[in-house]
Structure 1
Amino acid sequence: MNRLTLALDVMGGDVGPRITIPASIKALENDPMLSLLLFGDRQQITPLLEKVPESILSRLTVCHCARVVENSQGLSYALRRSKGTSMRLAIEAVQKGEAQGCVSGGNTAALMGLAKIILQPLKGIERPALVSVIPTMTGEQSVMLDLGANIECSAENLYQFAVMGAIFAENRLGLVFPRVALLNIGIEEIKGYKSIRDAAEMLKNNTTLNYIGFIEGDLLLNGKADVIVNDGFVGNVALKTLEGAAKNVISLFKGNAALNKTNHICKPLFAWLVKKLFLKGSYQRLKQINPDQYNGASLIGLTSVVVKSHGGANSEAFAYAIADAALQARQQIPTKILAGLEKY
């Protein structure tokens, strides 16, 4: 494992340092070769480091900045007023070579905009995309993009997402010739927006890609495709729907106290459905899934690693986002995507 430094926007997210600092400490405990640059308000950060061992503190550098990009700010306003903010300084640390990747739970649009301006897209990439790894009922994993960075997409955009997603799946998940599908409202060729149908034709014509056609939303977790491609609006809604449903179902099976007290009507219904519809092994895997492990989406198509954590992530989930950024940086995912673009 190589030594690595990541830059963290510790002010991002719904709670800020009270979540990101414990997460940073946990990430350093789990990865002895990792160092972190913490960008944020020193007055809020320092009290949270009082009882941290020196072995951990020696790999933490607090970079004070009082300004923050607010979640409520529009993109243009946030970009104009981003100078000196924790988010911008964290990204600039990557640009300067002080860190090999960046993690933030802040304003998604601002993170995307700043990263695109400061770090620049890879040559030939029109729009970077948000990609995330999602679990499947088979116990394996798929990747899904775009998840909110690009609300409206052309056929060319979707085609590039498919190419980047395939390269990401090959390197991040170790897959060979990953199956690529477009998320659509039906599997028939006449279904969906014109941009989706045109993207399908482009993908069919590229024989170096393992394009398998359209996939519907009910099969997102069934392992039918390794790479699921869609525009950012559809992807964001689909992913958050999956996350919400999964957390609710898992809470029921793990014995959520509030639900147990009320004998929630959904509990026996969900239990019956899952036991009937899934194999025993899948049922056991469902109960063991930890949604925190899938926190964070990566901005791929940029020259460096940038990971966006959920704004409402807890400390364990944010620690997973840090670990994911470290893994991608060590795997040199941006370099491999750039090289892979020539292949496809």
Structure 2
Amino acid sequence: MRTIAIDAMGGEHAPKAIIDAVLHAKPELKQTKFVLFGDEEKLKKSIPADQLDDRLTIVPTTEVIEDQDEPVKAIQKKKNSSMVVAANYVKDGKADALLSLGNTGALLTSGIFIVGRIKGIARPALMPTLPVENSDIGFNMIDVGANAQSKPEYLLQWAKMASYYAEKVRDVSNPRVALLNNGAESDKGDDVHQEAYKLLKASDLNFTGNIEGNELLLGKADVVVTDGFTGNSVLKNTEGTASVLIHLLKDSLLNNGFMTKVGALLIKNALKSLVAKFDTARYGGAALLGLNAPVVKTHGRSGERAVYYTIKQADKIVAEKLTDEFKLEFSKKN
């Protein structure tokens, strides 16, 4: 049996959205146990008594790490918070993976300092799956914020882990790997990106060269590797732009007269298809790769559906034994 430790108090809709997602996933993932960490009284109010069994249990905690808490201080001072206790469960081998909607910085800190990084991995990296125009499986981008500064060898390690993830979790055969840069030519970018290009080209990855920001959503790569500062900026810009465009489109169609509304009705199915294409909830959360166990972060605003897909994502990472593969791969270098 696999066991997923879930911080049930993180996120805007906790604990209900998290509990609903667990109850949704539980009948499907018959080889998986779920351990919820949080306020026992609040959790029991939202869980039917007949659902609490050997596959769904509660570990009571008395503290919550808030979004405004400083990450390092929070995990040091709030030892009995749902996130920290869940991370220690994973560290102690009582659970196979950690999932949270809570404070991103605190989760990264918990992952690195409690769960611990794999020997041979210089820096763990955060990796979401993002949509593209010509595919339903999207692409992975790594790193999107776990590291403010990067070295060429970090990018190579991240690309290797992300490529393996794309193959095993997203079922992509021989994933195409690209380096996010400010031009297609091999000599583009600063020293870090130029050296990273050389390392990626010399590796056994299916490296296709540089990719520019305007090409990210065109489906030209299955994995895009970048430094954490750039990745975080691109991620937030992409999410923000998509949200604004969809809002503007809806506003234009619904608030420009009767004939426009009629036209909107006629293209309703096409619009649903467009919105579905950029529905990132179905991709799950962002995985923090390079740790001794899987740690997955999903957005704090996530509802039941997004959490449900993130649970399935975490379960598949464990089932595919990604962490064992990473340990085997990178221990060779030491």
Normalised TM-score (structure 2): 0.87
1:63 aligned onto 2:59:
yes
2:18 aligned residue (7, 14, 20): 20
1:308 aligned onto 2:303:
no
Q: Could you tell me how far apart the structure 1 residues matched to 2:41 and 2:32 are?
A: 24
8 Å contact kept, 1:129–1:145: yes
Q: Could you tell me how far apart the structure 1 residues matched to 2:234 and 2:65 are?
A: 26
Equivalent position amino acid for 2:16 in 1: R
8 Å contact kept, 1:295–1:313: no
Question: What's the offset of the Cα at 1:150?
Answer: 0.9
Question: What's the offset of the Cα at 1:203?
Answer: 1.5
Equivalent position amino acid for 1:335 in 2: D
Partner in structure 2 of residue 243 of structure 1:
239
Partner in structure 1 of residue 158 of structure 2:
161
Q: Could you tell me how far apart the structure 2 residues matched to 1:53 and 1:137 are?
A: 44
SS of equivalent to 1:220: helix
Q: Could you tell me how far apart the structure 1 residues matched to 2:182 and 2:301 are?
A: 30
8 Å contact kept, 1:295–1:310: no
SS of equivalent to 1:79: helix
Q: Could you tell me how far apart the structure 2 residues matched to 1:194 and 1:187 are?
A: 15
8 Å contact kept, 2:4–2:34: yes
The 1:342–1:226 alpha-carbon spacing in structure 2 relative to 1, beyond 3 Å, is farther
Equivalent position amino acid for 1:15 in 2: H
8 Å contact kept, 1:122–1:338: yes
The 1:133–1:317 alpha-carbon spacing in structure 2 relative to 1, beyond 3 Å, is same
Normalised TM-score (structure 1): 0.85
Question: What's the offset of the Cα at 1:238?
Answer: 1.7
SS of equivalent to 1:149: coil
The 1:42–1:228 alpha-carbon spacing in structure 2 relative to 1, beyond 3 Å, is same
Question: What's the offset of the Cα at 1:189?
Answer: 3.2
8 Å contact kept, 1:8–1:90: yes
Question: What's the offset of the Cα at 1:244?
Answer: 3.3
Question: What's the offset of the Cα at 1:176?
Answer: 3.5
1:220 aligned onto 2:216:
yes
Equivalent position amino acid for 2:200 in 1: L
Partner in structure 2 of residue 279 of structure 1:
none
**Residue-by-residue CA offset, 1:249-294 (whole Å, 9 max, x unaligned):** 55677xx5x6654249xx99xx9xxx9xxxxxx9885343332112
Question: What's the offset of the Cα at 1:87?
Answer: 0.5
Q: Could you tell me how far apart the structure 1 residues matched to 2:304 and 2:282 are?
A: 11
1:6 aligned onto 2:4:
yes
1:136 aligned onto 2:129:
no
Question: What's the offset of the Cα at 1:163?
Answer: 1.7
The 1:284–1:188 alpha-carbon spacing in structure 2 relative to 1, beyond 3 Å, is farther
Identity %: 35
Partner in structure 2 of residue 186 of structure 1:
183
The 1:284–1:68 alpha-carbon spacing in structure 2 relative to 1, beyond 3 Å, is closer
Q: Where do residues 24-63 of structure 1 align in structure 2 (5 Å cutoff)?
A: 24-49=22-47, 52=48, 54=50, 56-58=51-53, 59-63=55-59
Equivalent position amino acid for 1:113 in 2: T
Q: Could you tell me how far apart the structure 1 residues matched to 2:324 and 2:274 are?
A: 35
Query: Structure 2: which 5+ runs fail to align?
Result: none
The 1:10–1:202 alpha-carbon spacing in structure 2 relative to 1, beyond 3 Å, is same
Give structure 1 regions of 4+ aligned residues with deviation exceeding 6 angstroms. none
Question: What's the offset of the Cα at 1:18?
Answer: 2.8
Equivalent position amino acid for 1:133 in 2: T
Query: Structure 1: which 5+ runs fail to align?
Result: 276-281
Q: Could you tell me how far apart the structure 2 residues matched to 1:32 and 1:64 are?
A: 24
Partner in structure 2 of residue 95 of structure 1:
91
Q: Could you tell me how far apart the structure 1 residues matched to 2:221 and 2:235 are?
A: 15
The 1:342–1:224 alpha-carbon spacing in structure 2 relative to 1, beyond 3 Å, is farther
Q: Could you tell me how far apart the structure 2 residues matched to 1:248 and 1:295 are?
A: 22
The 1:249–1:32 alpha-carbon spacing in structure 2 relative to 1, beyond 3 Å, is farther
Question: What's the offset of the Cα at 1:135?
Answer: 2.7
Q: Could you tell me how far apart the structure 2 residues matched to 1:26 and 1:314 are?
A: 12
Q: Could you tell me how far apart the structure 2 residues matched to 1:263 and 1:48 are?
A: 43
**Residue-by-residue CA offset, 1:92-146 (whole Å, 9 max, x unaligned):** 1112222111100111122112211222211210111111222322224321111
8 Å contact kept, 1:164–1:341: no
Q: Could you tell me how far apart the structure 1 residues matched to 2:105 and 2:119 are?
A: 21
Output the aligned Cα RMSD: 2.7
